Amino acid sequence: MKRTLIVAAVSALAAGSALAQSSVTVYGRANVTAESIDAGGLKTKQLVNNASRLGFRGIEDLGGGLKAGFNLEHGLSIDTGTPTATAFWNRRSEVNLSGGFGTLRMGRFLSEAYFATADYVSMHNHDTGNSADMLYAYVGRNTNKIAYRLPELVAGMSLEGSVSAAEGAAGQSRSYDLAWNYAVGALQLGAGYEKNGSAKQLAVRGFYDLGPLLLGAYVQKDTDGYGVGFGNRTTLRFSAAYNVGASEFHFNIGNAGSYSRVSNSKAKQFTLGYNYNLSKRTKVYGYYTKVDNNVVIYGPTTTKDFTSLAAGIRHNF
Least confident range of 18-22, 87-91, 291-295: 18-22
State phi, psi for 301 to the nearest 5 degrees: -130, 160
* Portion of the chain with pLDDT greater than 90, in percent: 88
Asked if residues 84 and 76 have their Cβ atoms less than 8 Å apart, the reply is yes
Taking only the tens place, the pLDDT of each residue in 230-273 is 999 999 999 999 999 999 999 999 999 999 999 999 999 999 99
CATH number corresponding to 36-47+109-316: 2.40.160.10
Q: Nearest Cα to 85, choosing from 44, 52, 118?
A: 52
Taking only the tens place, the pLDDT of each residue in 273-287 is 999 999 999 999 999
Asked if residues 168 and 98 have their Cβ atoms less than 8 Å apart, the reply is no
Q: What is the pLDDT of residue 2?
A: 46
Q: What is the pLDDT of residue 20?
A: 56
CB neighbour list of residue 85: distance below 8 Å, 6 or more residues apart = 75
Taking only the tens place, the pLDDT of each residue in 37-69 is 999 999 999 999 999 999 999 999 999 999 999
Beta strands in the chain (DSSP E): 22-39, 42-49, 53-63, 66-75, 92-99, 102-108, 145-149, 157-164, 175-184, 187-196, 199-210, 213-223, 232-244, 247-256, 267-277, 282-293, 306-316
